Amino acid sequence: MKLPKIKILDEIDPRLHKVSEPVTFPLDEKTKKLIDDVLVYLEMSQDEEIADKYDIRAGMGMSFVQLGILKRIFVVSEDNGDGTFERHIVINPEMISHSEELIYVGEGEGCLSVNRPVEGIVPRYARCTFKAYDVDGNEYKIRVREDISIAYQHELDHLNGILFVDKIDPKNPYKNKDRMREI
């Protein structure tokens, strides 16, 4: 399989701090193909051999704004550990509920648009329910937890012009760590 040509914006690009626009349906074929290409790219990036061969970093999610397209679309591809992936296509997402419990990624969150090491933690909800649409414009609700909950919140932030580094307190990067659970 050939790695799709995906150009990911770097954090210095001002488009990453803009709010993305809602998507109207039906989606055009170009948008549907790009959704599939991004999912393939993410899945290939999670294969260590392929990532080394193409010199790409592993990623499990990507928002269209990271491609310079200010549309409210993100995808997440979750490695099932058996060579298969669970694909999440999330269009016009809205978080409709969340847990009180906060979690954070122990080794720190990463982002394909942030090409540098970042110290600190980002508080995220342990569980969230989202309302969104699929590629055909059908509304659905999904409850996500743990690492997928973090991925959804991270990508939703992108659609709202927020990078994970914006959420880390520069004076105290591990602020309130004792009030959250590490995953």
Which residues does the annotation mark as catalytic? 155
Taking the C-alpha atoms of residue 72 and residue 2, their distance in angstroms, rounded to an integer, is 27
CB atoms within 10 A of CB 19: 11
For residue 161, give the amino acid letter: G
In sequence order, the 6+-apart residues with CB closer than 8 A to the CB of 3 are 40, 41, 44, 50, 54, 56
CB atoms within 10 A of CB 20: 20
Cis peptide before 26 (omega within 30 of 0): yes
Q: Which residues pair with 133 in a beta bridge?
A: 91, 139
Cα dihedral sign for 161, 163, 168, 174? positive
Taking the C-alpha atoms of residue 25 and residue 71, their distance in angstroms, rounded to an integer, is 12
